[in-house]
A and B are shown apart, each in its own frame.
Chain A
Amino acid sequence: MNRSAFTFATLLALGVTAIGAALAPALAPALADGRRGEGHRVAPVTHQATQEECGVCHMAYPAGFLPQASWKAVMGDLENHFGENAALDEAVRADIEAYLLANAADAGGWRPRALRGVNMANPPLRISELPWFKREHDREISPRALEKAGSIANCAACHRGAERGYFEED
């Protein structure tokens, strides 16, 4: 290999790497919205208090499934949590709320595809009421499967990788 060919190959390699690096953040949201990405992947909860406290009664739902306004409303009224009192000590509640807000679907200031069709002035509090969720589940779930799961809240009954952030169809 002569010197100029080597230099060209090196530049080419660097260029491809640079393009890849530039594209990576653009690709990440497409996957993180948990809907269109091939793997139906969304970042699982990594915050210990959120995992423990929310996870006692249901899977600790990924923060990226709901916008900040929804999490704020949910965490601001734990005494009336979908038909149950789920009150927490204030320090724990505030800690969990901060984590959920920092990792919410619209935390980056941009609005991901997962929130398409959502009235952001009054977003749903249930993940199961988001337009993409309804589209994906309404026609697919048989009454028998739902009965077996116990509730639409029980992701892992059908999505075995749910706790790890994988919601591909099983």
Chain B
Amino acid sequence: MKAHLLILPALLMASPAFAADTSPAELLARYSAEAGTAADPARGRELFLANHSGGKPETPSCTTCHTDDPRAAGKARTGKAIDPLAPSANPERLTDSAKVEKWLGRNCDSVLGRACTPGEKADIVAWLSSL
């Protein structure tokens, strides 16, 4: 029991490079404000699950790497595991704004061949947060 009390703070201090500067709710509010419209989780789900043709042929959909269940682990095309995207399954998700922007920037371009709009980001965040 005593050991557990000591280990927990040590673990919290030891987790590096995890800059929690935001939350799913805050991101949702920010992207919705930028978009000027309310987010729609159903639209986010549709965007996530759809096959697109504008991006790179190797990555036609978010599901190519993340699978169709964001609560489950995904797999990169290299074979490396990807932690779940849904905050309910992985509390670190959607808490680091630089990380969110970096990966939406890369992956919207890979899958759609363009940047995601603030509205699309809001929809995706709304859907992932709802799971």
Contacts and interface: CB of A to CB of B under 8 A. Distances in A.
Partners in one complex: yes
Interface of A: 52, 57-59, 79-80, 82-87, 149-151, 153-154, 157
Interface stretch (B20-28, B39-47, B52-60, B84-92): B52-60
Contacts of B14: none
Nearest to B77: A151
B129 interface: no
B110 interface: yes
B79 interface: yes
A109 to B, nearest CB: 32
Contacts of A59: 80
B75 interface: yes
Contacts, number: 50
A79 B78 CA distance: 17
Interface on chain B toward A: helix, strand, loop, or mixed SS?
loop
Nearest to A148: B79
Contact of A150 (B59, B78, B106): B78
A153 B78 contact: yes
B105 A87 contact: yes
Given A52-B17, A79-B109, A84 B79 contact: no
Interface string B68-86: 0000000111111000000
B97 interface: no
Q: Which of A86, A149, A151 is most buried by chain B, counting CB atoms within 10 A of its CB?
A: A151
Query: Nearest 5 CB-CB pairs, A to B?
Result: A150-B79, A83-B58, A154-B79, A58-B78, A153-B78
Contacts of A57: 76, 78, 80
Interface in B77-125: 77-80, 105-107, 109-110
B75 A84 contact: no
26 contacts: A52-B17, A57-B76, A57-B78, A57-B80, A58-B76, A58-B79, A58-B80, A59-B80, A79-B109, A80-B56, A83-B58, A83-B110, A84-B56, A84-B58, A84-B106, A85-B105, A85-B109, A87-B109, A149-B79, A150-B75, A150-B79, A150-B80, A151-B77, A151-B78, A153-B78, A154-B78
